[in-house]
Amino acid sequence: MVLGAPDTGKTSLIRFLARELSARGERVAYIDGDMGQSILGPPTTQGVALVGAPWGAGGVPQAGELYFVGSTSPRGHRVETLIGLKKLLERCLVDRGRVALIDTTGYVTGEDAIELKYQKLDLLGPRHILALQRDGELEPLLRIQEGLEGGVIHRLPCLPPVRIRSQQERRNYRWSRFKEYFRRVRFHEVDLRRTGLTGTHRRKIEGGGQGELEGLLVGLNGPDNFLVALGIVEKLSRREGVLVCVVPSQADLGRVRTVRLGSVRLDLSEDSDGERPVGPGGIPALSPF
């Protein structure tokens, strides 16, 4: 597992390790646990991919499974963050003899962040913990970990070529990923009488105004609770028990068994309605539910 604050080189290090291990004949799985700056899937998701030797500096492996956390941050989604990583790790290690490389979020400062990372280490039990630091910012967590049985801690300096990105650049990256994911879309009706509903906001289906749900990002999940496709709520017909979502045109939704309500609203129209902050180029900024 690789730990570090934002822009410390976590993903670059994992790319290097994936190439080197693959070149030596190891069977490698990459677990992308950064739902805010995700590589394998759209933002709000964690993913796992099997890595082959050709994975280069600019390449991205094909995701085998995606798990919908429901937010671009682990704040307020600790349970989903932990469960997602555990399920993805179990899925990729079903076939033993595989090396798993786990990327994590840059959420490392503050008591909540330290507790989340501690629980993550305890749950997943990595054999090696790679800690990328600028000025000892991970030491509160590492001191706790040193007193426990488990993985070997490797303290590493930040990778020198890493460029620090602004919050605006991070927002723009998320929006470029969302825009690409929903580049071609269609409407899909979910029969709530036959489909399970989960998420901390599910009570809003049973009551409240229509506007409280419009634009809400949802995960359409299969029987194994892995993501089949993301959707954006268009409208809800409580009388008919139908939830209408905007989904990618190519999505095969025959396996959907549950709908998980997220904690993010999306407005992918080019012209903002003025109710949300707007970033460069007229792309609406992400807003929490």
* CA-based radius of gyration for the chain: 20
Give the residue from 187, 266, 197 showing the smallest Cα distance to 238: 197
- Spatial distance between the Cα atoms of 49 and 68, rounded to a whole number of angstroms: 15
Which residues are CB-contacts of 168 (< 8 A; sequence separation ≥ 6)? 279, 280
First to last CA, the chain: 31
CB of 29 closer than 8 Å to CB of 48: yes
Beta strands in the chain (DSSP E): 2-4, 27-32, 45-51, 65-68, 98-103, 128-133, 152-157, 185-191, 196-198, 216-221, 227-237, 242-248, 258-265, 287-288
Count how many residues are written for the chain: 289
Tokens of 177: 């990923």
Which residues are CB-contacts of 227 (< 8 A; sequence separation ≥ 6)? 41, 45, 65, 66, 67, 68, 219, 220, 221
Mean pLDDT value of segment 114-141: 94
Tell me the Ramachandran region of residue 215: left when phi exceeds 0, alpha when psi lies from -120 to 50, beta otherwise.
left
Residue with tokens 């999306």: 266
Question: Residue 136: is its pLDDT beyond 60?
Answer: yes
Give the residue from 46, 43, 45, 44 showing the smallest Cα distance to 29: 46
Tell me the whole-structure pTM to 2 decimals: 0.88
Kind of pairing between the strands at 242-248 and 185-191: antiparallel
Predicted pLDDT of residue 207: 57
For residue range 157-207, list pLDDT tens digits in order. Answer: 987 777 788 999 999 999 999 999 999 999 999 998 899 888 866 666 655
Which residues are CB-contacts of 43 (< 8 A; sequence separation ≥ 6)? 35, 36, 37, 72, 174, 177, 178
DSSP three-state, residue 203? helix
Predicted pLDDT of residue 286: 45
> What does pLDDT average to over the chain?
85
CB of 278 closer than 8 Å to CB of 285: yes
Residue type, 17: L
Predicted pLDDT of residue 202: 63
Question: Residue 274: is its pLDDT beyond 50?
Answer: no
Mean pLDDT value of segment 30-42: 94
